[in-house]
Structure 1
Amino acid sequence: MNIVVLEELKAYIEPLTPDEHDALERSLLAEGCRDALVLWGDILVDGHNRHGICQKHGLPFQTVQNPRFTSMEDVHLWMIDQHLGRRSLSDFQRGVLALRKREIVAERRSRAKVRTDKATEPVTDAPSGDAPWEGDTPAAALAAVLEPKPLQSREDIARAARLSSSQVGMIEKIQKQAAPEVVAAVRAGDLSLNAAAVVATLPEEEQRAAALAGKDELKQAAKRVRESRRKPRDEAEAPDETRETGTDAPASDEVAALRQRVAQLEAENAELRLQVQSLSAQLV
């Protein structure tokens, strides 16, 4: 059987580590390929690693067709849902898949809405007996937009990817602003989501330079950005005497002298009150 392997579908699959690939290869050699490969026609949808190993060693395998696939978008959505359920994916990988699903579903619903609107428009010049739409009925078009449920909000995406809303926000920032080298570091696990989102705020040239210097420099770059953000805030929250004197710490000597002067004045006031009371008693 001629099985077609498409690179666009392989892109949905994170490559196995050498240890993981060796373990899968040993399992297939010992027990055979027990799980059927999923196909859409002659296109391989699920089982790329198993297919490659079976081809390498001439091992037999079974295939199964998924009858629900009607388009490549169906294949993409099915693969995304399959991968979102796997624990081996990182937070970043799950977030990227959920965001991709949002885009696909939004595009499908938009197209279906256009078809529905056109189908319900009155047609006055259509030949007698001809339907005013080609192959699509309003019911069919509406059915196309009902499932899958759209991921409209950041919270929807977070639930689908088992992440927090803030993590989804970081992933969106990384996708939009991070240099490819920074994205690669996140995918490899060399940089956390938080640090990558911070580094992504730097000019692209600085991001690339930090990435080329290694993961330690990327972490240092994130630290420097955080510190630069913290410094203005600390200065804004500093006591009034700090800002007025322009120093980094209050003028402790001046404060101590002022406190001592206040204490002296309070003592003098107390002595004066006693004198007034004594004079009052004499006059009586």
Structure 2
Amino acid sequence: MDIIVNQELKAYIDPLTPDEHDALERSLLAEGCRDALVLWGDVLVDGHNRYGICRKHGIPFQTVQNTRFQSLEDVHLWMIEQHLGRRSVSDFQRGVLALRKRAILDARRADEQAQLQRENDGEAPLAQAEPTPADDAPPWAPAPRLSRTELARQAKLSASQVTMIEKIHSQAAPELIEAVKTGAISISAAATVASLPEDEQRAAAQGGKDELRQAAKRVREARRRPRPATSGTDSETGTPVAAAAEDGELERLRQRVASLTAENQALRMELDALRARLGDPGT
């Protein structure tokens, strides 16, 4: 049979590095292709690298059909599950795959909710059903969304790692994402650098490991630097608000000291008067 290579499916999972591809090629040449390639009809689902190497060297291979696939989304979910279980997949790759899985499941939930609600709306006038109590979920209520904790468990990551990978995935420049994939920067540092404008991220990534480290350090130091409570200038005097606030606080402290000094002096006078009445020789 003719095997069809769908380029979108082939690119759905990050490609092997040159070293990983060379190692796989040596293994196939020495031991043959022991694992069957997975097909969906004529479409190749799993084994793109093995298929390419086997064709290049004329190595025999077997195929197996997965008859459970109903749609391309099913194929994507299956591919994600397969790669989440592989030890060679990096933490960042597992996080991205888990986020893709959640996006697919969220889209399915939305579609199912809309379909069930349409069916419910169409049947309600005929059935004349009693109103649903306010504290009960409607019959078309979707299943709960995949939580970050469950997402982390499936990806074998911590919840904080998933949060950082979400930030990188949504905010990082392509050059920064590539730096994470190649190990030039850690996930935590990349999430920090992703806070910068895209052009600064790109410049740091192009500068290499040292520049990426320095960029992450600058962001962390800026976050630790104390900020004034207010900013701007007073509209009447033109004095910076922060400076005016400091001057005002100093004046309040001076008035408080003067008030306490006066109270202390009055108490001393009362004490002297009391001693005089009692004939205290200490007066």
C-alpha displacement of 1:202: 0.8
Distance 1:38 1:230 in 2: 52
How does 1:1-284 map onto structure 2 within 5 Å? Answer: 1-120=1-120, 121-122=122-123, 151-232=145-226
Alpha carbons 1:179, 1:204 under 8 Å: kept: yes
24-33 vs 183-192, greater mean Cα deviation: 24-33
Distance 1:113 1:230 in 2: 45
Counterpart of 1:13 in structure 2: which amino acid? Answer: I
Distance 1:118 1:203 in 2: 44
Alpha carbons 1:151, 1:157 under 8 Å: kept: no
Identity, in percent, stands at 69
Q: What's the C-alpha RMSD, in Å, of the aligned pairs?
A: 2.6
The 4+ residue runs of structure 1 with deviation greater than 4 A are none
Alpha carbons 1:36, 1:64 under 8 Å: kept: yes
Deviations 1:185-228 (A, max 9, x none): 01111111111111111111111111111121011100111112
C-alpha displacement of 1:110: 1.6
TM-score computed with the length of structure 1 as normaliser? 0.70
Q: What is the number of residues matched between the two proteins?
A: 218
Distance 1:18 1:187 in 2: 14
Residues 52 and 231 (structure 1 numbering): CA distance in 2 closer, same or farther, change over 3 Å?
same
Residues 123 and 208 (structure 1 numbering): CA distance in 2 closer, same or farther, change over 3 Å?
same
Counterpart residue number, 2:264? none
Distance 1:5 1:50 in 2: 12
Counterpart of 2:42 in structure 1: which amino acid? Answer: D
Corresponding residue SS for 1:38 = strand
Which blocks of at least 5 consecutive residues in structure 2 are unaligned?
Answer: 127-139, 230-245, 247-283
Distance 1:104 1:69 in 2: 15
Corresponding residue SS for 1:11 = helix
Counterpart residue number, 1:260? none
C-alpha displacement of 1:157: 1.2
TM-score computed with the length of structure 2 as normaliser? 0.71
Deviations 1:56-99 (A, max 9, x none): 01122111110110100000000000111111111111111001
